[in-house]
Amino acid sequence: MHSEALLDFGSIRERLAEHCSSVIAKELAMQLEPMRDAVKIKEALDETVEAMQSLQTEIEQPLGGTRDIRSACAKSRKEIVLSREELWDIYTTLGAYRRMYTFFREKYAQYPLLTLWAQDIPSHEKLERRFERIFDKKGELMDSASPKLQHLRSTIVKTKERIKNDLQAILHDKDNQKYFQEAIVTQRNNRYVIPVKQEYRYAFEGLIHDRSATGATLYIEPMRLVNLNNDLQEAVMEEEQEVLRIYRELSGLVRQNSNTLMDACDRVSHIEFVYGKANLALAMKAVPAVLSGAREVNLIHARHPLIPANVVVPTTITLGTSYRILLITGSNTGGKTVALKTLGLLSLMNQAGLCIPAEAGSVLPIFNTIYADIGDEQSIEASLSTFSAHMTQVVSILKAVGSKDLVLLDELGSGTDPEEGSALAMAILEYFRKSGALLMVSTHYNELKRYAYDTDDIENGHVEFDERTLRPTYRLHIGVAGSSHALSIAARLGLPREVIDMAKANKDGSANRDMEAVLSDLNEQLRRTRERERALKKELEDTRRIKASVEREKKQMNERRKAILTKAQEEAQNLKRSIRIEGEQIIKELKSQFSEGDKQKRQDAITQARKSIAGVQIPEAPMDERRRIEAKEVAEGMPVFVDSLGQLGTVLAVQGKRVQVDVNGLTATVKLADLREASRQEAGNLRRKNEAPQPKARKRSGTAVLRQQQATTELNVIGQTVDEATVTVGRFIDQAILAGISPVRIVHGKGTGALRAGIQQYLKHLPQVKHYEIAGLDEGGAGATIVYLK
């Protein structure tokens, strides 16, 4: 296509071919054409992204080792015997196909699109195994390729050894020394011979096979070696026939598998081609464009891919939203043509399924056709001037353009009288505006700048020129027209000052003087605004960076604070438990010291001791913000956090407003309101702990451990006296606290109510008890008391 040549798409094909790993992939690169089907374009881009991910993350890539086997397959179909090189190419290629199939079979989740190409690669396991028995790792035919070949090669080796031994005997015979020109062995006509002096030709018996250039030496096969040489030649010819037979057999196998081999070749070559696109994208630091369902163009910091990275200036181009025609003005050599070509070339690359050198988030639509008229196309052969050549091209575009096309015009209306040229250019722009196509055009005409300011769907833009350095910056700014700066550029190029001053005087008298002054002022304001914008952007980035740093430090400090408090709370809790155990020992001793008649005094001492222990202050654990679980969410086997116990557990059963929970192997009945949501990690850890086989418990010492192992959530004291029951209840409460269980149930029966009253009176004086209540009807009613512990 003419526009593809103007936009240098052929150079992109060549660069793509350089990044492809196989001959066929390079051919596919050189045949690459832009597409119009959005689905195919999206699929091609997604495949390229998968290959980029593979190149960036995988240690070993599924590439390399393939050969172009198309010619060999075609020959085999004609029953032509393939050469060793052709057969070896097929063998190595089969190994490459197998490796690629295995790679994508194991990586389906990471590369689903490429796997679709690889998963149907036909298997040639039998053919590959046959090759393995014939060729060694260097591609040479092994002796064991067939029994006959092995026998023949063994015969050849033995015969050569006999010949060499006989020759050595002849050469070292003292009677023969005078006959030989040199005591060496050589070959002529594939037969072993000895160089003999011409004058002894009749004295040395043998067959003459050759003579030297001077005629002084004859190469004679000794008669005693004739039969051995004959045997050797016969064995060599039989070996060649056997090798040919093996190659013919392999060629037949290739012919039988030629269709599946070609299918595999197509699939693998496509994958290699996609990896070539990925390599090109990484080399250009390119990204896939977002395909616009409308006709929106938004190229963010786009770079022309054929300009060196250290030279190219990124440009941002927007088109197709509030305006459909972008009119670019500015100095010569300022980058107008590069901007046009960047939009056109990146659009072609996108529709060819290639990533584009721009920032992520860049948007491009799918054009039916991209038309371009760029550069000087003066034709001497056709007797066309620059103006005529441009107009010929514009006329052909006007006849074919549609609303879904992109048109790129460079220096519209140039090459003729400025007044007529600008009038013609405005008429052409108006025609394109009515056609609905997207248009990007460059010009120097001030009339066109005014036209763009006064007309809907058209926007001015300019390439920046630095008045201080008198050099273009190549940056494109949209929204304001620019000046050509012809006088500044001419002065920089060395035009005499006198000529420059005269031109300025002529310009000051021009009708466009005011327009130029306004544009110059606008561009200076734009330059200052850009500088302020860059400064503010830098300050904003610094502020964000500082804020992020402060947030990280704050988070780390909170985490350290929470860890310290948690550790302190655990240590204090352990200390309090130890004190309680020691206190119980003291209480036991106190009980033994008081007589039976001093029960009240004994009870007061015990109560005071327990109050002292309970008064030990424990630092508050950091607040754990957890969501409360609603009643309808609770289910058996559900991991939960029990707020009242401060521990994780698993729901065993739901009993109205109470729930039985397994906490560290112990069953506790808690209120529904005490359940909080366990985190995903906590739930996973709890499930793994429950599913893991429990090792046999080792015997450990310590009262706390013993009591924790013996703790239960229910105590039955029916039949005991009040004094007996209080002792039992006290021990039960201590064990429950040590095990971290709350609430617990004390079954005392209804009877006369004396036992219940005595136990509840005892509970009133226990500092470990938060409160107690008569059990619900489903838990024993008046015959049981539920005790909530601190």
Cα atoms in the Cβ-side hemisphere of radius 13 Å centred on 662: 13
Kindly report, residue by residue over 148-164, the tens digit of the pLDDT: 999 999 999 999 888 88
Please state, in angstroms and rounded to a whole number, the distance separating the CA atoms of residues 301 and 287: 12
Q: Nearest CA to 54 among 118, 3, 9?
A: 118
CATH number belonging to the domain at 145-247, selected among 3.30.365.10, 3.40.220.10, 2.60.40.10, 1.10.1420.10: 1.10.1420.10
For residue 263, the model assigns a pLDDT of 94
Any bridge partners for residue 328, and if so which?
Answer: 442, 461
Lowest mean pLDDT among 302-306, 330-334, 685-689, 778-782: 330-334
CATH number of 703-790: 3.30.1370.110
What does the DSSP assignment read for 571-613? HHHHHHHHHHHHHHHHHHHHHHHS-GGGHHHHHHHHHHHHHHH
* Band of residue 51 on the pLDDT scale cut at 50, 70, 90: very high
Lowest mean pLDDT among 123-127, 202-206, 257-261, 724-728: 202-206
Over 80: is that where the pLDDT of 466 sits? no
Cα atoms in the Cβ-side hemisphere of radius 13 Å centred on 8: 18
Assign 618 to helix, strand or coil: coil
Please state, in angstroms and rounded to a whole number, the distance separating the CA atoms of residues 494 and 106: 67
Over 80: is that where the pLDDT of 500 sits? no
For residue 596, the model assigns a pLDDT of 52
Percent of the chain whose pLDDT exceeds 70: 79
Lowest mean pLDDT among 74-88, 166-180, 374-388: 374-388
* Band of residue 532 on the pLDDT scale cut at 50, 70, 90: confident
* Band of residue 364 on the pLDDT scale cut at 50, 70, 90: very high
Domain ranges in the chain? 2-124+257-284, 145-247, 290-510, 624-692, 703-790
Domain 2-124+257-284: CATH architecture, name and number where available: Orthogonal Bundle (1.10)
Instruction: Tell me what the pLDDT averaged over the chain comes to.
Output: 81
Outline where 31-78 has alpha helix (H). 38-57, 70-77
Whether 7 and 271 have beta carbons less than 8 Å apart is answered as no
For residue 359, the model assigns a pLDDT of 94
Beta strand residue intervals within 358-486, DSSP E = 363-364, 370-373, 406-409, 438-442, 458-466, 471-478
Percent of the chain whose pLDDT exceeds 90: 29
Over 90: is that where the pLDDT of 273 sits? yes
For residue 71, the model assigns a pLDDT of 93
Over 60: is that where the pLDDT of 525 sits? yes
For residue 201, the model assigns a pLDDT of 76
Lowest mean pLDDT among 143-147, 163-167, 242-246: 163-167
* Band of residue 727 on the pLDDT scale cut at 50, 70, 90: confident
Higher pLDDT, 21 or 336: 21
Beta strand residue intervals within 2-127, DSSP E = none
Please state, in angstroms and rounded to a whole number, the distance separating the CA atoms of residues 746 and 736: 12
Please state the rounded mean pLDDT for residues 736-753.
Answer: 80
Q: What are phi and psi of 785, to 5 degrees?
A: -125, 130
Q: Nearest CA to 145 among 248, 15, 41?
A: 248
Any bridge partners for residue 650, and if so which?
Answer: 639, 662
Please state the rounded mean pLDDT for residues 715-741.
Answer: 81
Please state the rounded mean pLDDT for residues 763-771.
Answer: 83
Please state the rounded mean pLDDT for residues 338-363.
Answer: 94
Please state the rounded mean pLDDT for residues 190-216.
Answer: 81
Any bridge partners for residue 788, and if so which?
Answer: 771
Please state, in angstroms and rounded to a whole number, the distance separating the CA atoms of residues 317 and 339: 8
Kindly report, residue by residue over 87-139, the tens digit of the pLDDT: 999 999 999 999 999 999 998 889 999 999 998 899 899 999 999 999 988 88
Over 60: is that where the pLDDT of 255 sits? yes
Over 60: is that where the pLDDT of 512 sits? no
Please state, in angstroms and rounded to a whole number, the distance separating the CA atoms of residues 138 and 84: 12
Cis check: omega of the bond before 147, within 30 degrees of 0: no
For residue 561, the model assigns a pLDDT of 80
Burial class (CB in 10 A: 0-12, 13-18, 19+), 510: exposed
Higher pLDDT, 275 or 475: 275
Please state the rounded mean pLDDT for residues 760-765.
Answer: 85
* Band of residue 501 on the pLDDT scale cut at 50, 70, 90: low
Q: Residue length, the chain? A: 790
Q: Nearest CA to 48 among 90, 82, 19?
A: 19
Please state, in angstroms and rounded to a whole number, the distance separating the CA atoms of residues 39 and 322: 27
For residue 40, the model assigns a pLDDT of 95
Please tell me the class of the 624-692 domain: mainly beta
For residue 358, the model assigns a pLDDT of 94
* Band of residue 447 on the pLDDT scale cut at 50, 70, 90: confident
Higher pLDDT, 491 or 1: 491
Over 90: is that where the pLDDT of 745 sits? no
For the chain, the distance separating the N- and C-terminal CA atoms, rounded to the nearest angstrom, is 86
Q: Which of the 8 DSSP states describes residue 772? A: E
CATH number belonging to the domain at 290-510, selected among 3.40.50.300, 3.40.50.620, 3.40.50.1370, 3.40.50.10950: 3.40.50.300
CA angle, 340 then 342 then 343, to 5°: 70
For residue 775, the model assigns a pLDDT of 83
Structure tokens at 55: 């190149």
Give the pairing type, strands 206-211 and 217-222: antiparallel
For residue 383, the model assigns a pLDDT of 40
Over 50: is that where the pLDDT of 669 sits? yes
Please state the rounded mean pLDDT for residues 649-675.
Answer: 80
Please state the rounded mean pLDDT for residues 701-718.
Answer: 58
Q: What is the CA radius of gyration of the chain?
A: 48
3-class DSSP string for 534-572: HHHHHHHHHHHHHHHHHHHHHHHHHHHHHHHHHHHHHHH
Higher pLDDT, 491 or 215: 215
For residue 459, the model assigns a pLDDT of 87
Q: What are phi and psi of 465, to 5 degrees?
A: -130, 125
Examine domains 2-124+257-284 and 145-247 and report if their fold is the same: yes
Over 70: is that where the pLDDT of 698 sits? no
Please state the rounded mean pLDDT for residues 495-510.
Answer: 62
State which H helix or E strand residue 141 sits in: none
Higher pLDDT, 434 or 501: 434
Please state the rounded mean pLDDT for residues 374-386.
Answer: 52
* Residues annotated within a binding site: 330-337
CA angle, 50 then 51 then 54, to 5°: 90
For residue 700, the model assigns a pLDDT of 40
For residue 509, the model assigns a pLDDT of 55
* Residues annotated within a binding site for ATP: 330-337
Kindly report, residue by residue over 580-621, the tens digit of the pLDDT: 666 666 666 666 665 555 666 666 666 666 566 555 555 555
Over 70: is that where the pLDDT of 444 sits? yes
Higher pLDDT, 375 or 723: 723
* CB-based contacts of 425, cutoff 8 Å, min separation 6: 412, 413, 443, 445, 448
Assign 106 to helix, strand or coil: helix
Please state the rounded mean pLDDT for residues 616-637.
Answer: 70
Over 90: is that where the pLDDT of 696 sits? no
Assign 735 to helix, strand or coil: helix
Over 50: is that where the pLDDT of 260 sits? yes
Over 90: is that where the pLDDT of 484 sits? no
For residue 680, the model assigns a pLDDT of 78
* Band of residue 705 on the pLDDT scale cut at 50, 70, 90: very low
Any bridge partners for residue 370, and if so which?
Answer: 406
Q: Nearest CA to 364 among 376, 381, 352?
A: 352
For residue 640, the model assigns a pLDDT of 87
